[in-house]
Amino acid sequence: MKRVYVNEEWCLGCHLCEYNCAFANSGARDMALALRGKPINPRIHVEGDGQVSYAVSCRHCADPICVRSCISGALHLEEGAVCIDRDKCVGCLTCVLVCPYGAVLPGPDGAAQKCELCLKNSCGAPACVTGCPNRAIVYEEREEVCP
Amino acid sequence: MKRYVVVGGSIAGVSCVEGIRSLDRDGEITLLSAEAQSNYGRPLISYYLEGKTDLARMSWRGPDFYAQNRVQALHGVRAADIDAASHRLSLSDGRTLDYDALCVCTGSQPFTPPFEGLETVERRCNFMTLEDALWLERTVTRRSRVLILGAGFIGLKCAEGLRDRAGSVTVCDLADHAMSASLDGESAGYLERHLEARGIQLRLGDTVARFYGNSARLRSGEVLPFDVLVLAVGVRPDTALLAGAGAAVDRGILVDAEMRTSLPDIWAAGDCTESRDLVTGELAVLANLPNASLQGRCAGVNMAGGAARFDRGIRMNAVGVCGLHLMSAGTRDEPVYTERTEQSCKKLFAKDGVLTGFILVGDVAGAGIYTALIRNRTPLDAIDFETIQRAPSLLPFGRRERTRMLGGAV
């Protein structure tokens, strides 16, 4: 399955992925209208210390502990992608308690939110990847490396 | 064709079905639920009262789950007796079921210590099942004065759920602070102030000495009149079925890391069990929804002939009450890191070079990174603990470990 991966050495720390993510999931047509002057709530976030930077978003684990732990059943698998039915979510944030990557986030309306690989919006492919100016974020198949 | 029987239709039972079906598409599965409804997250009942969910959305794995997984689900029926030698289960309606593999997921039962005069209280309930929530929905009016005994997770979530429905809500607990099982006094203070500012009245370090119909006299002498009483003092693993069958039972049903009981071909999972706490190394009832789910799935996989282990169970809890989020995991000894602001509080606990617990109040983002440190027993000298204690992120793991975490399919 194709997932989003970061190439840390290429990340500029520009945070564009966060803006592209917030815009992609805003449902709006105009980026400036969607984001200007508002706090953004992206589903990807850039971490770093000035020397190192990289983006973190959902790993779409094959055996996702967030899906197993979700009290409402809002988090679920769709053909390998971890998706969230935000209408079903009650905002208990147990997913935030268990995600080892810090990739599930409290959303602005109380419900949790997370990367759904832009499968649920009009982009069709992850907007963070498309908009990354240095190809530090890619969308591809990779071998399993973790136990 | 293998015959599977699952006793209990809550998270552990449903996860057990998922575990079985991950390996065995053909076996015959029968699931028993003592309740009229099953396959719903129990903690949702407070959100139901609050209006944040409804019966349709409460279905944990969806209304078609049993049909899609070809499960014969029997509702409103209990398992009465197990004959382990002949692999036969007797039901409360007189039927019997023969099994090749059985999983007991009976959960817990409310535990109420004897209170003088409790029988004089006409309108009282526990807060464990959807039925309890539906009863409260019918019973509590805008004029009702609700008294809740127990300021733990269940009692406080009930208080939140009833706050906008009732005239008043008072929560009473013998412990000197709220959620004493998972919070220390200081962190609980944030929660207590938050609740009181939202109209929920607390009586802590006090409990009912005697009930007189519609009033309660507390040990302190205070008399509290009420219309509806909710008993949320505590819960106990429901071990009766397996204890009766001769299985090894302590406070909970004893299970190994494969969720096997001491009886052949009988597994158990969820709140009814007692298993090894990764942090303390001791046997404990690790009753929380994630553990129930992971244990149930583990049992199901093993029942179907697979090899799964559940050996990383820890205490953990995420709770939001009236908009304030609190999380805790592991144990609490002396904090190695403490941070406080007006609205938030963080305490990290460590022992023998590994993180053993935490409490977060208010700011909970990234908490799972701390939880993973506990579950993985990550040596703290292998990461930049100075950085991670201030803010959870993947930075303190260093590039090599981070590349492993983020660089491949997981």
The CA R_g of chain A, rounded to the nearest whole Å, is 15
* Average pLDDT of chain B, as a whole number: 97
pLDDT band at B302 (very low <50, low <70, confident <90, very high): very high
Give the mutation candidate from A63, A97, A101, A140 for the B interface (greatest B CB count, under 10 A): A97
CATH number of the domain at B3-107+238-303, out of 2.30.29.30, 3.40.190.170, 3.50.50.60, 3.40.190.10? 3.50.50.60
Distance CA B268, CA B258 (A): 9
Topology given in CATH for the domain delimited by B111-234: FAD/NAD(P)-binding domain (3.50.50)
For chain A, the domain total comes to 2
Give the mutation candidate from A10, A87, A98 for the B interface (greatest B CB count, under 10 A): A98
Distance CA B107, CA B116 (A): 28
Largest CA distance in chain A: 44
Between these two residues, A124 and B396, which has the higher pLDDT value? B396
pLDDT above 70: percentage of residues in chain B: 100
Q: Which residue of B has its CA nearest to A71?
A: B41
pLDDT band at A147 (very low <50, low <70, confident <90, very high): very low
Handedness of CA B96, B97, B98, B104 (dihedral sign): negative
pLDDT confidence of residue B52: 96
**Structure tokens given for A60:** 């779409």
Q: Where are the domains of chain B?
A: 3-107+238-303, 111-234, 331-406
Name chain A contacts of B394, Cβ cutoff 8 Å.
47, 54, 56, 101-102
- B13 has pLDDT over 60: yes
A46: Cβ contacts below 8 Å, ≥ 6 apart: A11, A13, A15, A17, A18, A53, A54, A55, A56
Question: How high is the ipTM of this complex?
Answer: 0.96
Q: How much is the pTM?
A: 0.96
Residue A133 three-state SS: coil
pLDDT confidence of residue A34: 86
Burial (0-12, 13-18, 19+ Cβ within 10 Å), B386: exposed
pLDDT confidence of residue A143: 77
* Closest by Cα among A128, A105, A95, A122 to A29: A122
pLDDT confidence of residue A145: 56
How far does the CA of residue A116 sit from the closest CA of chain B (Å)?
Answer: 16
**Based on the domain organization, do A107 and A142 belong to the same domain?**
no
**Based on the domain organization, do A10 and A37 belong to the same domain?**
yes
- A32 has pLDDT over 90: no
Asked if CATH classification 3.60.21 holds for the domain at B331-406, the reply, yes or no, is no
* Closest by Cα among B324, B347, B46 to B191: B324
| Rounded alpha-carbon distances, angstroms, from residue A41 to A45, A106, B20, B102 | 9, 9, 39, 46
Whether residues B368 and A100 touch (CB distance < 8 A) is answered with yes
Considering only A136-145, B115-124, B260-269, which range has the smallest mean pLDDT?
Answer: A136-145
Residue range of the domain that includes A93: 60-114
How far does the CA of residue A78 sit from the closest CA of chain B (Å)?
Answer: 13
**Among candidates B290, B392, B407 on the partner chain, residue whose Cβ is nearest the Cβ of A94:** B290
CB proximity under 8 Å: B 316-355 to A: 316-320, 325, 327, 329
**Among candidates A52, A72, A144 on the partner chain, residue whose Cβ is nearest the Cβ of B53:** A72
Q: Are B274 and B40 in contact (CB under 8 A)?
A: no
- B184 has pLDDT over 80: yes
DSSP code at position B409:
B
Distance CA B29, CA B358 (A): 40
In the predicted model, what is the mean pLDDT of residues B104-131? 97
Largest CA distance in chain B: 66
**Based on the domain organization, do A53 and A2 belong to the same domain?**
yes
Whether residues A72 and B293 touch (CB distance < 8 A) is answered with no
**Based on the domain organization, do A17 and A42 belong to the same domain?**
yes
**Among candidates A3, A52, A104 on the partner chain, residue whose Cβ is nearest the Cβ of B395:** A52
- B407 has pLDDT over 90: no
**Based on the domain organization, do A106 and A74 belong to the same domain?**
yes
- Taking the CB of residue A52, how many other CB atoms lie within 10 A of it? 15
